[in-house]
Amino acid sequence: MTDTAATSRLPFALPRLGIGTAPLGGLFEEVGEQDAAATLKAATEAGITYFDTAPRYGHGLAEQRLGRLLPPSGGSGPVISTKTGWLLRPRPDGSPGEVITDWTERGIRESLESSLTRLGRSSVDILYLHDPDEYPDEIRRTAYPAVRKLRDEGLIRAIGFGMNHSGPLASYVAKFEVDVVLIAGRFSLLDHEALTTLLPLCAEVGTAVVVGGVFNTGLLADPSPGAMFNYRPVPAETLERAQQCRALCEAYEVPLPAAAIQFPLLHTAVNSVVLGCRSAAEVTANAAAARFPIPGELWQRLAEAEFVPEQLLERRGE
């Protein structure tokens, strides 16, 4: 790998901060329509113009809410990414049913067309193949060629992969021409997994990177007993590490969420961070944290405590 970044394959600029809509689909707890509307209104008022969604978020509910509550698409409209590879199968009464994998060209197209209907749009900016960890043969034979065809037809502007594990994601970036990837939970103050292979590779070939899960399911937003870490109850030693990280930040009067949100952007390959929000208050707090000034000395202290890889600071000239 070289340290020189290639020209980006993404044909447009991504905002540095975006909203992930899994909470608006009811992840962990239901969000009412009024709260969903207030959340998206707060995001637009805060100048946030990137929204990531997926059919699996609330069995289409998150996409439907974006379609109802966001401004219409257009030259100044928001950037929207959604995902494919899974089809929603409602019950006869219309209520949510099962979700099935389908990596065929027909399935990929049906998934996107259904998403566009829910979103009320004729196209989206990014289409991610969603969690294809165990389907490399299907991706090679049918799914990747299908999303390329959809891009050629103008139904999407960019194609990528969205996953929770950086190793398989890196293998897809190495095999295919990938405009953008979304890696969730594997590049945070507590988890540097994506740094070993994925991020250097993306920098080398020009694949844009979106990072989600920067709080590791909430722990780095509020490291207290009972917090979740990567969708599970936090182990005692991990909780202790998160509390140590918070104490270092507090010594410089920096909120821990501010460091957690801004950390991934220290890497030159990272274009954007997406944050799951379920209320207007969360949007407002996260937007403020993303802008909070962080002194170079704090980044150095965090590096000394192994929360930040030293190589990131060397690139910044700190």
Quote the longest CA-to-CA distance of the chain. Answer: 60
Q: How far is CA 157 from CA 11, 29, 131, 305, in A?
A: 7, 33, 20, 41
Number of neighbouring beta carbons within 10 Å of residue 204: 17
Indicate the Cα dihedral angle 217, 221, 223, 225, nearest 10°. Answer: -60
Catalytic residue among 50, 57, 128, 172: 57
- Told to judge if 231 belongs to the known catalytic residues of this protein, a careful annotator would answer no
Which residue in the block uniquely carries the two structure tokens 């219309």? Answer: 94
The amino acid occupying position 279 is S
Number of neighbouring beta carbons within 10 Å of residue 11: 10
Torsion sign across C-alpha atoms 283, 45, 253, 302: positive
Length of the chain equals 318
Residues known to be catalytic: 57
